Each structure stands twice: as C-alpha cells, then as structure tokens.
Chains A and B, each alone.
Chain A
C-alpha cells in the first residue's frame, strides 16, 4: 500500500467516525453532548497539528548545531594537505 493510500484510508476512517457521531447516522440516539464535542473536532485537530508542526520545526531550527569546530579543523587540515601534497609533487 502506498503512503498516499495509507493517508486516504486514515483520513476516511476519521471522517466516517466523525460523520457517525456528528450526524448520528446510525440512529444511536447519542447524548447531545457527544455531538457538540464532535462537530468542531476536525478543526481542533488541524489547529493542534499546525501548532505542533510550527513548534517542532521552530525548535529544530533553533537547535540546529553550528559546527564551528568542524569548520576550523577542516581549514587546518586543508593547509596540512596542501603542504604535504606539494611535497609529494602534485602540481595544481
């Protein structure tokens, strides 16, 4: 099953569950409070997911390592390599 189908399946399952409760499609005579909680659910879920995404990406950008040390080490090694290669007879 492709990722696309997995997503479609997941979304339709949630959609069906939501429809069942909100419009009481099976005539289960659910208490009215169920309906009240259920109908704005999709919007809540979207907002929560949006916030989670922004927070996660923001946190990861803020904590993205800057490898100063690695850059310095590389610069030093480049010098060393150039000197050694010259000694070995490399003509640039």
Chain B
C-alpha cells in the first residue's frame, strides 16, 4: 500500500512543465510575467522551466530576459532567441525543440494570461489524464476585462459561428493559454499548416479530430496593460479565411 503510494508520488514529481513564452517587444511585461510564474510555480511546488523565445525585439526584451536569467537561474529561465521576427507559429516549434519537460504550457507574455491558472490547469490534467487542457473565456467563471460591447459581440458571434460549423468540442478556440502533453503537441504542430491567429484554432480542431481528450479551465482574460498587440489589423478577414479552410479540410 505504502509502496504504491510513494511510487505514484515519484511519478508526479517526475513531471516537468515547460512554459513557452514567445516575446516581441515585451520589455515591460516580461519581468512581470516571469515574476508571477516563479511565484505560482514556487507556491505549488511543481517542477518547471520558462523558455523565452524572443524574435530580435528592437526594444531590448532580450537584455531584460538575460537579467532575469541571472536573478532566477539558468535552469529556470532558458533563452532561445531568434534573429528576426519569424512569427508565432514557428516560435512555438522552436521552443518545443528545446523544452525538457514532459508537459508544455503555451501562453502569451503580455499578462493577459495570468499564471495563477496554471496550477488549476495541472490539477485538471491530472484529474482526467487529459491530452490537453485549454483555458476558456466563455464558460463558468471565465471572462474578459477591458472589452467594449463591440468587441464582446464580435468575439461571441465568431465563437458561435465556429461552434456551429466545426463542432470542435471545446468552447474557446482562439485563446492560446493551454497545457499540452509534449508528444501530443509535437504531433499537432506537425499537422498544423495555418499561421498566426488561426493556428490556435487549428490546433484544437485537429486535436479533436485525432481523438485527443480535451479538458477546460475557465480563465479571466485581462487586456494587455503595456505595449501593443502585434496581431489585429485584418484579424476578422484572416479568421474567416481560416474558419472556412478548416470547415472544408477537417
């Protein structure tokens, strides 16, 4: 009895979580998000590493990251910078290659994804043995802060259309705060072809298609305080294009 219990404990302690933080001009946000990650991982006691993938930000994000590495140690803060801005999708692929954990957490570095939810993600994953756990703004206590009526309407409308057309079995497709088993993420990334915004949506649609199990945790999404969003512009057009592509191909 005692034997099997300690064995289970060992296995849990062997779990390691690699957090991928892609950054582009996030010099103000990066120290704060790292501080919060260290705080919540420290409190919950899970084994972790933070992989910062900076794409040659002109604002000096990388220099800040180097300072953080000195403060928190090279085993906790891993820097995998790239020369120039190559996009979010490839940043994840680049990060996965260097990740040493058996679980990978993907989140934005702009403080709209709060690290306090990570212990909940991990708990949820362990409860159901899920292949991936996705944060959701659309369910339970989930929600947003700093959105006007127009943005809420677009968000809810787009989500409804997507649910009707794709029936993906997950309530938040465009959010990008998720925890994956490493091998599951690797297999998904291999199969996903879309870029940017649609990438997140394709990941979860393909996950369902491949029969992976999906758990959900409600999250509060607080609009970025510092810096500006790099996506945007023709977000709606690229969303519709992506949606129709997935509709016809999955």
Is there an interface contact between B144 and A90, defined as CB atoms closer than 8 Å? Answer: no
Is there an interface contact between A70 and B250, defined as CB atoms closer than 8 Å? Answer: no
Is there an interface contact between A57 and B157, defined as CB atoms closer than 8 Å? Answer: yes
Interface residues of B, CB < 8 Å — how many? 40
Report how far A65 CA is from B146 CA in the complex, Å: 11
- Chain A nearest CB, measured from B180 CB (Å): 23
Interface of B is mostly: helix
Task: List the 6 closest pairs (A to B, CB-CB), nearest first.
Answer: A65-B143, A67-B220, A70-B220, A81-B35, A71-B145, A67-B145
**Cβ proximity bits A31-75 to B, threshold 8 Å, 1 near / 0 not:** 000000000000000000000010011001100111110110011
**Set A3, A56, A68, A89: member contacting B167, Cβ < 8 A:** A3
In the complex, B149 has a CB within 8 A of chain A:
yes
User: Most B CB atoms within 10 A — which of A64, A82, A89?
Assistant: A64
**Cβ proximity bits B147-188 to A, threshold 8 Å, 1 near / 0 not:** 101001101110010001111000000000000000000000
Interface of A is mostly: helix
- Chain B nearest CB, measured from A2 CB (Å): 6
Is there an interface contact between A61 and B31, defined as CB atoms closer than 8 Å? Answer: no
Is there an interface contact between B144 and A64, defined as CB atoms closer than 8 Å? Answer: yes
Residues of B within 8 A of A75 (CB): 225
- Chain B nearest CB, measured from A6 CB (Å): 9
Is there an interface contact between A61 and B222, defined as CB atoms closer than 8 Å? Answer: no
In the complex, A4 has a CB within 8 A of chain B:
yes
Is there an interface contact between A91 and B67, defined as CB atoms closer than 8 Å? Answer: yes
User: Most A CB atoms within 10 A — which of B35, B67, B155, B167?
Assistant: B35
**Set B141, B142, B153, B164: member contacting A61, Cβ < 8 A:** B153
Please list the residues of chain A having a beta carbon within 8 angstroms of any beta carbon in chain B: 2-4, 7, 53, 56-57, 60-61, 64-68, 70-71, 74-75, 77-78, 81-82, 84-85, 88-92
Question: Given A60-B156, A85-B35, list of 15 further CB < 8 A pairs?
Answer: A7-B165, A53-B164, A57-B157, A61-B153, A64-B144, A64-B156, A66-B143, A67-B143, A70-B114, A70-B220, A77-B36, A81-B36, A82-B31, A90-B64, A92-B31
Sample (25) of A-B pairs whose CB atoms are under 8 Å apart: A2-B250, A3-B248, A3-B250, A4-B247, A57-B153, A57-B157, A57-B160, A60-B138, A60-B160, A61-B149, A64-B155, A65-B220, A67-B144, A67-B220, A71-B222, A74-B111, A77-B32, A81-B32, A81-B36, A82-B31, A84-B35, A90-B68, A91-B67, A92-B27, A92-B31
